[in-house]
Structure 1
Amino acid sequence: MSKRDDLIAVYAADLREKCQMEPDMALLTKVAIGLGPVIYNSDSNTVAASQPAELETIRKNFLVKKLGLADGPELASGIDAVIETYGRSNRNKHRAVVYYLLTKHFGKETVYA
C-alpha cells in the first residue's frame, strides 16, 4: 500500500472509532487527494481546533472557496458541530477527517463527484 492509502486507512479508523460512523471510502479518498501534500506533513495534517485563526482558515479556504458555501454564522456552527462529533478532547484531529465531516454536514458531496 502507498503512504496515501495508509493515511486514508487511519482516517477511516478515526471515523469508525471516534465518530461512530462508517465512512464513504470513495468520498474520503477524494477529500484526502484534494488536500494534496498537506496530508504528509505532521503539522498541517492535523487541525488545531482550539485556535480561532485555524478555524477561520477552514471557514474561508475550505467552506467558502472549495465547497462554495455562502459566508455566514451557520459555517461557524457547522465547524463547531463537526469538532464536537470528532471529540473536543481528541488532540489529533486529522484535517482530512474534519474536511470529510464538513462535506457531509453541509451536504456538498457533489463537489468531489
Structure 2
Amino acid sequence: MGRRDELIEKYAEDLRTKCDMDPDMDLLRKVTIGCGPTIYNRDSSTISQGDTDELKTIRDNFLIKKLGLPDDEHLMGGIQSVLTTYGRENRQKYRAVVYYLLVKHFGKEDVYA
C-alpha cells in the first residue's frame, strides 16, 4: 500500500469516527488526489479552523474556483457547518476530509465524476 492509500484510509477513519459517516471511498480518493502534494506536508495537510485567512482561501480557491460555486454569504456558512460536523474540539482537521465534506455539503460530487 502506497503512502497516498495510507492517508486515504486515515481520512476515511476520520470520517467514520469523527463525522459519524460512511465515506464514499471513490469520491474521497478523487478529492484526495485533487489536493495534490499538500497531503504529504504536515502543515498544509491540515487546516486551522481559527485562521480567517485560511478559511477565505478555502472559499476562494476550492469552493469558487474548483467547485464553481457563486460567491455569496452561504459559502462561509457551509465551511462553518463542515467544521462543526468534523468536530470543533478536533484540533487536527485534514484538508482532504474538509474538502470531501464540502463537496458533500454543497452537492458538487459531479465535479469529481
TM-score of the pair, normalised by structure 2: 0.99
Question: Structure 2 CA distance, aligned partners of 1:53 and 1:76?
Answer: 12
Question: Structure 1 CA distance, aligned partners of 2:42 and 2:51?
Answer: 17
Instruction: Determine if the alignment matches structure 1 residue 46 to structure 2 residue 46.
Output: yes
Question: Structure 1 CA distance, aligned partners of 2:60 and 2:88?
Answer: 21
Q: Secondary structure at the match of 2:5?
A: helix
Question: Structure 1 CA distance, aligned partners of 2:42 and 2:89?
Answer: 19
Q: What is the deviation of 1:89? A: 1.1
Q: For 1:89-100, what aligned pairs fall within 5 Å after superposition? A: 89-100=89-100
Letter in 1 for 2:89: S
Q: For 1:17-96, what aligned pairs fall within 5 Å after superposition? A: 17-96=17-96
Question: Structure 1 CA distance, aligned partners of 2:55 and 2:36?
Answer: 19
Letter in 2 for 1:24: D
**Unpaired segments ≥5 residues, structure 1:** none
What number of residue pairs does the alignment pair up?
Answer: 113
Query: Over aligned residue pairs, what C-alpha RMSD do you find?
Result: 0.3
**Unpaired segments ≥5 residues, structure 2:** none
Task: Extract structure 1 runs of 4+ deviating beyond 6 A.
Answer: none
Q: What is the deviation of 1:34? A: 0.5
User: For each residue in 1:23-67, what CA deviation from the matched residue of structure 2 results, as whole angstroms up to 9, or x when unmatched?
Assistant: 000000000000110000000000101110010000000000000
